[in-house]
Structure 1
Amino acid sequence: MTQHSSKPTRALVVGGSTGIGRGIADAWARSGATTTVMSRTAPAGAGADLLSWEPLDLTDTAESRARLRESAADGLDTVCYSAVFYGDRRALIGEVDEAEWRRQLEVNLNGLWLTLTAVLPALRQASPGLFVGVSSEVVYNGGPGRSGYAATKAAAAALLESVAQEENEEAVRIVQVLPAGMVDTPGIRRRRAADFDYGDYMRPEHFGAAASELLATRGAGRHGDALMVDARGDWRSTREHRPESQSRALA
């Protein structure tokens, strides 16, 4: 295992109040990292007392840039970008208005760019710093009714892959993680019927083991990789196993 300074690890999760980001934030905090979540709403429930929170609205570019730079000013060791806007529902492209499309761009892609440009200098100083991006199977599969989400997540994945090739992995390691199946999150629940059965869905805490391992090793040996996490908490590289599509035909 890579050895690091005894100085407390400083972690930042952008979009970590719920969902996969929250699962990662909780795991990092339990591992002893001083963990800050930046999101529109504050983390709540079990484990929230271990997290610091700062409000962040990624659709406000100027304010987001300032807040992200301020957060990085005191140093960062590891950062996760998990902010996402799915859209109101699955819909054909002609049924999606421009405001929804632009919000997907602002949150899923532009917010990632803002975060990278703000935190990379601090992560290089940590040497090695770790940047974790939360990806999706739509990067590999696309899907009807999810064109905006698929397009912006694919662009985000390409952005991270490109930056990984720019960075010296001795200074910064960039790793993506994604779920092998659908995940039970508040965002998904807003799009499902009240009586929907989530019994076979993954949960955010399934990302805890992978998040803790990446924190402990600072992503050693995983730079530029994308790790698919399953409901057992195990993970494997998408270089070896292509994610299965979670799309369904639209009525």
Structure 2
Amino acid sequence: MSQATQGNRPLDGLRALVTGGASGIGLATARELLWQGASVAVIDAAPSAPEGVELAGFASADITDDAAVRAGVEQAVGALGGLDILVNNAGIGAQGGVEDNDDDEWRRVLDVNVIGMVRVTRAALPALRRSDHGAIVNTCSIAATAGLPQRVLYSASKGAVLSLSQAMAADLVADGIRVNTVNPGTADTPWIGRLLDRADDPAAERTALEARQPHGRLVSAEEVAAAIVFLASPASGSTTGTSLAVDGGMQGLRLRK
């Protein structure tokens, strides 16, 4: 977590909504926002709020359901008394090459990862437009900019998120709303944990995932959260339409071995 302390917190007075905030990167982001002084509400498909986190509000909602999203955002904005920061983090994974996922799986993943982000954003925009510090941060992935094996569907969805975010930034800059993305590398999250559990040799698979990132390990959820909150902060007030890789150098470094 950051070194912000009580009485000198950069996000004091700001109000944030995090989707997918009950676990993994979303939960780490909610905690970091709280640590830096923001009031935080969460929307997640989980039936109940995460324990040990002092949230202003929690709504259990399926982001493929527009009515549920609108109700959840309305509930969150009401609990917070407004909205300054939206973190679109909810998403699902997918494995396989181009021939491995059927049409229904393509529709499901795109519905959650792309259209779900659209649903939440358009429901939140009226409140964000009333803020003096409106900011949206979308969780993307290094898969949007680097070709990864057996991730065709997931990569396509995150490529769409990257383009969506840049177009949103262009549309919303006149409203005083900044839009940026964070592109994590392979992060140590519950989803990766489940993938490792299903592998024939989980230890070998983890070693392989760690080795493809130049710094030699998985990215932590807290590291991704720190980047998200950095972009959401008013201190980044001139940063919009940008993607920030948190990937141990995976995208940009080519090391000799």
The answer to whether TM tops 0.5 is yes
Picking from 80, 89, 93, the partner of 2:87 is 80
1:214 Cα deviation after fit? 3.2
Q: In the alignment, is residue 224 of structure 1 matched against residue 232 of structure 2?
A: no
Aligned 8 A contact 1:129 1:218 in 2 = no
1:204 Cα deviation after fit? 0.5
Aligned 8 A contact 1:128 1:218 in 2 = no
CA distance in 2 between counterparts of 1:55 and 1:117 reads 18
129 and 218 in structure 1: CA distance in 2 versus 1, 3 angstrom threshold: farther
205 and 123 in structure 1: CA distance in 2 versus 1, 3 angstrom threshold: same
Structure 2 gaps of 5+ residues are 1-10, 211-216
1:165 alignment counterpart: 170
Encode CA deviations 1:87-128: one digit per residue, 9 max, x unaligned.
2xx222322123321211111011111111111221121022
Task: Give 1 or 2: higher helix fraction.
Answer: 2
Q: In the alignment, is residue 63 of structure 1 matched against residue 68 of structure 2?
A: yes
Give the structure, 1 or 2, with the largest relative contact order (CA under 8 Å, sep 6 or more): 1
Structure 1 gaps of 5+ residues are 1-5, 232-240, 246-251
Picking from 230, 233, 251, the partner of 1:243 is 251
CA distance in 1 between counterparts of 2:21 and 2:193 reads 17
1:203 alignment counterpart: 220
SS at match of 2:245: strand
Q: How many residues align?
A: 227
172 and 49 in structure 1: CA distance in 2 versus 1, 3 angstrom threshold: same
2:195 alignment counterpart: 191
CA distance in 2 between counterparts of 1:56 and 1:203 reads 26
CA distance in 2 between counterparts of 1:201 and 1:71 reads 32
213 and 92 in structure 1: CA distance in 2 versus 1, 3 angstrom threshold: closer
CA RMSD of aligned residues (A): 2.7
Encode CA deviations 1:149-197: one digit per residue, 9 max, x unaligned.
1111111211110010111266111111122x31011111111135454
Greater Cα shift, 99-108 or 188-197:
188-197
Picking from 53, 58, 61, the partner of 1:53 is 58
Encode CA deviations 1:6-54: one digit per residue, 9 max, x unaligned.
9832110011212222221110011121111111124546xx3223421
214 and 140 in structure 1: CA distance in 2 versus 1, 3 angstrom threshold: closer
Aligned 8 A contact 2:142 2:247 in 1 = no
SS at match of 1:38: strand
1:66 Cα deviation after fit? 2.9
1:106 alignment counterpart: 111
Aligned 8 A contact 2:42 2:59 in 1 = yes
Aligned 8 A contact 2:18 2:40 in 1 = yes
1:130 alignment counterpart: 135
